[in-house]
Structure 1
Amino acid sequence: MSTPDFNLEGALIAQGLTRIAGVDEVGRGPLAGPVTAAAVVLDPAKIPEGLNDSKMLTARRREALLEVIMDSAEVSIAHASVEEIDAINILRASHLAMERAVAGLPRPPEHVLVDGNLIPRGLTIPATAIVKGDARCLSIAAASIVAKITRDAIMWDLAQQFPGYGWETNAGYPSKSHRLALQDLGVTPHHRRSFKPVHNILYQHKNVSD
């Protein structure tokens, strides 16, 4: 299996650009919690060793790499809330989080490498969409690590406030135990009401009370 490299960034640097940001989001699929994005500008002279798509790394390895990324790169993290997800749909909310992450970098990048097949429409900086970018591009891989660890920590905190849904382990994704908890415990303020399993439970409860 191939690992991400710096070739895409290198090609842009060869064109005279110096600040290339990779951006990725985490949390499109969960039934609960925000969608989180990170933008990372790597220093070509300080690329962390062993960088890879966050899904290919153990939790311990991700944590170790996060520390190195935060020390050696420019990083910005941003979110779109459950309310925004329900109002504008998950794809647009994911793009909004990405736009916010890029905008939050200490200095504007000259080009953005975006994970996926679409460029967020609010990006005003030249950008390239990279399908499976977290497995191909080191800047996006770094962003995937930052976004995942950040969002997992948010869901762990929310799990302490709303126990029983298993968010500390499922991060809000629709695991069997999470779906059963929705039926038994009901919908929390952190559930995405526009997502079908949550919407259906609210509709069932409405019909029962009517």
Structure 2
Amino acid sequence: MTSAKPDHPGPSLDLETAAQLAFGGLVCGVDEAGRGPWAGPVSAAAVILNPDDLPPGIDDSKALTARARERLEIEIKARALAWGVGFASVQEIDSLNILKATGVAMCRAIEALSIAPVAALVDGNHAFALPCPVRTVVGGDGLSLSIAAASILAKTARDRLMIELDAEYPGYGFAGHKGYHAAVHVAALHTLGPCPAHRLSWAPIRALTARSAEIGSESR
């Protein structure tokens, strides 16, 4: 497992180069988006970058503006040797738990690659069971260019889906907060109750659902 250093100048291909030498082939970077929200799926992306055609400006998606992420998404998809995106649904999150569902999304992202990697560099400290060997990298989206690229694709893909869910389930503000805890989200839940896009296994949603049922039984 590798950890990011506070004074690290930014992501590079150093970890990819070392992994390619160790495993004898192309490696992908893998990251997820949406493990913490109350609503919507969790997404993951896998990217095999072309070292001879790197889009400038790749960084941890959290360090970029939405406009920069959207620009880089186009560049990454156009220049990478291979990329893939996968999702795990709200139903899978509720039935499996978020950690296992994240692993499912990562597997789907790797399986969507047009080139099979010999190993994966995965952001974080959990070695998910993936279709290839895994090296975990704590703070990987700030160390590895391919993980950073994956963080961008996972984030933009999920953001787009949350905008679609906002149109499907109006009133919750999904397009703005993307399913995360926000005052407008809490207020909407109190007014409207949960919708099919909500993770019913999440403690705040469970508590709200239980309270609504309690009030309903008291009013009968």
Range class of TM-score, shorter chain: over 0.9
Distance 2:20 2:132 in 1: 16
* Residue 132 of structure 1 pairs with residue 139 of structure 2: yes
Q: Which runs of 5+ in 2 are unaligned?
A: 1-6
Over the matched positions of the two proteins, sequence identity in percent amounts to 44
1:71-106 Cα deviation digits (max 9, x unpaired): 011111110000000001111111110111112211
| Residue of structure 1 equivalent to 2:103 | 95
| Residue of structure 2 equivalent to 1:192 | 199
| Residue of structure 2 equivalent to 1:18 | 25
| 1:104 aligned residue (97, 107, 112) | 112
* Residue 119 of structure 1 pairs with residue 127 of structure 2: yes
Say how many residue pairs are matched.
209
Q: Per-residue deviation at 1:63?
A: 1.1
| 1:156 aligned residue (144, 163, 177) | 163
Indicate the RMSD between aligned Cα atoms, in angstroms.
1.2
* Residue 147 of structure 1 pairs with residue 154 of structure 2: yes
Q: What is the SS of the residue equivalent to 2:28?
A: strand
TM-score by length of 1: 0.96
TM-score by length of 2: 0.91
| 1:39 aligned residue (37, 40, 46) | 46
8 Å CA contact 1:25–1:37 kept in 2: the answer is: yes
Question: What is the identity, as a one-letter code, of the residue corresponding to 2:92?
Answer: E
Distance 2:212 2:175 in 1: 26
Q: Per-residue deviation at 1:107?
A: 2.1
1:149-208 Cα deviation digits (max 9, x unpaired): 000000001101212211111000011110111011111001000001111111011212
| Residue of structure 1 equivalent to 2:71 | 64
Q: What is the SS of the residue equivalent to 2:172?
A: coil
1:104-158 Cα deviation digits (max 9, x unpaired): 211210110011101112x131110111111111000000000100000000011
